[in-house]
Structure 1
Amino acid sequence: MKHLSGLDATFLHTETPETPMHVGGLHVLELPSGYKGDFYEDVKAHVQSRMHLSEVFTRKLALMPFELSNPVWVDDDDVDLDYHVRRVTLPRPGSSRQLEQYVARLHSTLLDRSRPLWEFFVIDGLQGGRVALYSKLHHAGIDGQAGAAFAEAIMDLTPEPRVIKAPRQMARRNRYQLGVAELAGAALTNTLQQYVKLVKTFPDMARAVKSLVVPQPTNQAGSLWKLPKNLNLLGPRTPLNVAITNQRAYAVRSIPLAEVKQIGKRLGASLNDVVLGLCAGALRHYLSDHGKLPRKPLTAAIPVTLREPGDTTSNNQVSMTVMTLATDVADPIERIKAIAESSAATKSLMGSIKAAIPTDFPSFGAPWLMSGLASMYGRSRFADRLPPVANVVISNVPGAPVPLYFAGAKLLTYYPVSIPSHGMALNMTVQSYNGMLDFGLIACRRAVPDVDDIADYLVEEHRALLAKVKALDTPATAAEGVPASPPAKAAAARPRKTPARKTASRKTVARKPAARKTATA
């Protein structure tokens, strides 16, 4: 058995029917030329041959008696692939909107906790003869960085799947669950170990608290302590900040990575700063349309990894910070500059306390209490009345820079599917893949039924921002009294165009489900 950390178990204890705690991905796949086989059967065979490469496939939960302590992971030596890998056929015409709606429906249902916490859906019937793969994994066993490592186990770099050595045959134990005494003993031992870990972190936690309030020499009367700059604890109320249902709405878009990097380089901002700026512009447009844009800037909850480089353990090592989105600034360039300033302050703050943030902590007697409080919070609709800690969740996950293949088919997209929650009904997650930024917007359908509009505004914001950045480099004309740059230098300064991607209008993109919904200049 393997104990869940306190952070891992929190995703289980706070899960309710309205807030499923699983993450996933949507991949549109291009089958090999002349393919005549049954891709669903190929996927099952492919997964069967790779299951031993990741413990996510073969571990399940064993619950503690009376839920007095966190569950443990145990091996399941009888995984039912016909249950975990399923086939879905879209009705005609098999549009991209139909695909998004079906994925939203699949993402709204809880995973079966008596089985390993993952499901794959092979979706056919798409226009153009392509297929899609929707994956669904519980957040209790995986975060963004661990998800990238999981993908490496099942993906390949060439159309021909690499040869995987078969696992060593192990004797089957035929034990569906562990005994009560065995579980109780394990719970007690693990709780004591967690208390020891917590005590050992006290010195780091003390230093972190001290770094939050730094003494400042001053000749004026008053406090000698100064809080960090740009520390914004609460966001304004918006239609996004309500209690949610289990119904979901989902939309995807893609933006060329090179163009986003070009914007960041010209403005002296990071890639993540530009992503936040694009999301901020889309939300500003959306709320303005509804007459709900607050004067106070929106804030975003941003996941921050706590992993050491090279750590691919299948668990959660992540924390959360809050940043301003500067939605009170109308100009997109000035908005990104404000976000970059806030980002620098936040990174400095997180750098000083990162080592002291615990991911494992004792929770003896807490699981049933946490579950009860999570259910009560949702049903009481406190989120409709309390000020939000943040207005939206925005996450940026680095992915593969080269094409990947799954069961011989080429991945054309890598759209993330994440988690909205009470008080933050919209989650905007982006993953880089093969020269593109793939955005997945998941929301409560009751709170944000028109999430597709936000996705469109995201694309429009990128195009407008790219045009403004290019205009900054446009030489003044002779009519303005400033000589133009020599042709050779002007050509050298001109941004390099992204190859092999055609510009598509908004309506044209919406009619092509099998291709990415891209934004180009």
Structure 2
Amino acid sequence: MDQQLSGIDASFLYLETPETPMHVAGLTYFQLPEAFEGSFYQHFRRFFEGRLHTIPIFSKRLAPSLYDLDHPGWVDADEIDLDYHLRETTLPAPGTEAQLEEVIGRLHANTLDRSRPLWQFYVISGLENGQGVLYSKVHHAAIDGGAGMAINKALYDVTPTPREVAPPPPRPATAKPAPSSPTAVDPLKGVTDIMSNMMRQQARLWQAAPDIVNAMTNAFLARPGETPKALSTLQSLVSQLPTLNAPKTPFNATITRERSYAARTISLSDAKAIGKASGAKLNDVVMAICAGALRRYLQEKSQLPEKPLIAGVPISLREPGDTRQNNQVSGMLCQIATDIADPAERLRAIVKSSSESKQLAGTFRDAVPQDFAFVGAPILLQLVMLVYGRSGLADRLPMPMNVTISNVPGPPMPLYCAGAKVTALHPVSIPAHGAALNITVQSYMDALNFGLTADRRAVPDVALLGDYLVDAAKELGKSMLRD
């Protein structure tokens, strides 16, 4: 195989079941070029065919290891069937935003075909305001938010006139012996590779052991008279242990195959002004806005817990300039102060909680291995996920978090896609068993574009929650001005 998946990348394959698709997606709105006529789908298809080769992962498919004893790998696909990967659909009249969100929910519920490269685009027309829409999904095993920016570079331009892209180099003609089946491998070579990989993983762990010990030592040692930062943070967290068990909400449930979706936008300048006035980071402001919306939503349903909700917040480990198309992520848990009525006080509580959580996550960042391997991982981990989902344990077990909140920085300048001006970029993400609501935010120019992706049974009225996000942003802004 060309490149074996890391343990982190492969875990998104193992976590996937029919109820829990593990792809991420983007919802791009664009204004068609002036005086454009004809099919934008055909126009976009011709444009994209000339750039497909600039996204290497789009021409790779999965290849299993021998008997699924180890992580699979990426190999070159024999052919790219664009009729499967690139499709079109038209909204029924009148073409409202609610109808578009309904279509996105249905498209996002469908798993990708693992016998093909793990991506699929839909060009959607019929929106009543005349805008075009592109729904683009890629499996999380191949990409995270940071690597998604690399794909955006291939897909978008910074001027209305698309830049020239060099054609792909000719593929070398190499004669390959015909295998007995599409997945046939040399058993001896397969066993050798698997055992070599296991030994490499163990060697890496041993090599990393001194660094792990040093990280732990530095975290818990300090100069005389000082309290180590990590120890201070841990003591703070230990004091909060009774509250770190997330309270029960409608989001803590076993999810189904159906999805609901809502896209909403607020001003990035306003959010930054709130952060400046309060000394908060933009991510803290985003969490405070989400907290305000969630508090109102649950309160109206008489389901607001007395304890604050806890958000799972992904953390990117990607270094600046790293465009490798793999996953480099970690995460933290943060109390989002839904028990506090005043928006300004709620933000201050979130700043304190997130600061402690980020400090602890940063302390042990380099001590956490980003890869793993053990014999039979593909089968065993997939079986665990199937049993977990089908047993309904998420409905009964205590959960460490209630909701996922993620903030992905996007381009500050206007973009163009096949000559059409991009007006908004909204994420479409992954709910999970026990965390049926995912709120992901992407910035674009002077906008924060929210994408709320949920299990339809747990959150059937996600559009209402989206409206409350917009209201919560206004309320927080007024509160900070008042202070």
Normalising TM by the smaller chain, what interval? over 0.9
Aligned to 2:42: 41
Provide the rounded CA distance (Å) in 2 between the counterparts of 1:34 and 1:384: 54
Q: Does the Cα contact within 8 Å between 2:123 and 2:132 map onto a contact in 1?
A: yes
Q: What is the identity, as a one-letter code, of the residue corresponding to 2:185?
A: G
Structure 2 residue aligned with 1:239, among 209, 234, 250? 250
Shift of 1:99: 0.5
1:27–1:226 CA distance, 2 compared to 1 (3 A): closer
Q: Does the Cα contact within 8 Å between 1:3 and 1:190 map onto a contact in 2?
A: no
Shift of 1:206: 2.8
Q: What is the identity, as a one-letter code, of the residue corresponding to 2:306?
A: R
Provide the rounded CA distance (Å) in 2 between the counterparts of 1:76 and 1:57: 9
Note the 1:473-492 alignment, pairs <5 A. Answer: none
Aligned to 1:500: none
1:67–1:166 CA distance, 2 compared to 1 (3 A): same
Aligned to 1:72: 73
Structure 2 residue aligned with 1:286, among 291, 297, 303? 297
Shift of 1:365: 1.6
Aligned to 1:409: 420
Deviates more, 1:196-205 or 1:361-370: 196-205
Shift of 1:226: 7.9
Q: Does the Cα contact within 8 Å between 1:212 and 1:228 map onto a contact in 2?
A: no
Note the 1:117-132 alignment, pairs <5 A. Answer: 117-132=118-133
**TM-score, with normalisation over the residues of structure 1?**
0.86
Q: Does the Cα contact within 8 Å between 1:214 and 1:226 map onto a contact in 2?
A: no
Note the 1:326-475 alignment, pairs <5 A. Answer: 326-472=337-483
1:212–1:371 CA distance, 2 compared to 1 (3 A): farther
Aligned to 1:25: 26
Runs (4+) of structure 1 moved beyond 4 Å? 172-178, 208-218
CA deviations 1:414-448 (Å, max 9, x no partner) are 00000000000000000000110000000000111
Provide the rounded CA distance (Å) in 2 between the counterparts of 1:454 and 1:374: 29
Deviates more, 1:341-350 or 1:443-452: 341-350
Is it true that 1:53 corresponds to 2:59 in the alignment? Answer: no
Is it true that 1:202 corresponds to 2:209 in the alignment? Answer: yes
CA deviations 1:166-204 (Å, max 9, x no partner) are 111012557754624344443333222222222222223
Provide the rounded CA distance (Å) in 2 between the counterparts of 1:207 and 1:333: 40
Aligned to 1:109: 110
Give the 3-state SS of the residue equivalent to 1:412 in structure 2.
strand
Provide the rounded CA distance (Å) in 2 between the counterparts of 1:296 and 1:211: 34
Provide the rounded CA distance (Å) in 2 between the counterparts of 1:226 and 1:165: 52
Q: Does the Cα contact within 8 Å between 2:71 and 2:373 map onto a contact in 1?
A: no
Aligned to 2:326: 315
Aligned to 1:517: none
Note the 1:59-208 alignment, pairs <5 A. Answer: 59-172=60-173, 177=183, 179-181=185-187, 182-208=189-215
CA deviations 1:428-485 (Å, max 9, x no partner) are 000000110000000000111011111111111111111122233xxxxxxxxxxxxx
Q: Does the Cα contact within 8 Å between 2:90 and 2:126 map onto a contact in 1?
A: yes
Give the 3-state SS of the residue equivalent to 2:51 in structure 1.
helix
Shift of 1:34: 0.1
Give the 3-state SS of the residue equivalent to 1:119 in structure 2.
strand
1:314–1:129 CA distance, 2 compared to 1 (3 A): same
Q: What is the identity, as a one-letter code, of the residue corresponding to 1:12?
A: L
Q: Does the Cα contact within 8 Å between 2:66 and 2:185 map onto a contact in 1?
A: no
Provide the rounded CA distance (Å) in 1 between the counterparts of 2:44 and 2:314: 32
Shift of 1:208: 4.2
Provide the rounded CA distance (Å) in 2 between the counterparts of 1:442 and 1:265: 29
Count of paired positions: 467
Aligned to 2:277: 266
1:13–1:172 CA distance, 2 compared to 1 (3 A): farther
Shift of 1:363: 2.6
Provide the rounded CA distance (Å) in 1 between the counterparts of 2:370 and 2:59: 23
Higher gyration radius (CA): 1
Q: Does the Cα contact within 8 Å between 1:213 and 1:227 map onto a contact in 2?
A: no
Provide the rounded CA distance (Å) in 1 between the counterparts of 2:66 and 2:316: 32
Provide the rounded CA distance (Å) in 2 between the counterparts of 1:43 and 1:310: 28
RMSD value, Cα: 1.9
Is it true that 1:12 corresponds to 2:23 in the alignment? Answer: no
CA deviations 1:488-514 (Å, max 9, x no partner) are xxxxxxxxxxxxxxxxxxxxxxxxxxx
Shift of 1:364: 2.2
Percent identity reads 48
Provide the rounded CA distance (Å) in 2 between the counterparts of 1:450 and 1:407: 34
Provide the rounded CA distance (Å) in 2 between the counterparts of 1:44 and 1:226: 52
Give the 3-state SS of the residue equivalent to 2:50 in structure 1.
helix
**TM-score, with normalisation over the residues of structure 2?**
0.93
Shift of 1:320: 1.4
Q: What is the identity, as a one-letter code, of the residue corresponding to 1:99?
A: L
Q: What is the identity, as a one-letter code, of the residue corresponding to 2:294?
A: L
Q: What is the identity, as a one-letter code, of the residue corresponding to 1:105?
A: R
Provide the rounded CA distance (Å) in 2 between the counterparts of 1:48 and 1:468: 50
Provide the rounded CA distance (Å) in 1 between the counterparts of 2:267 and 2:432: 29
Shift of 1:229: 2.0
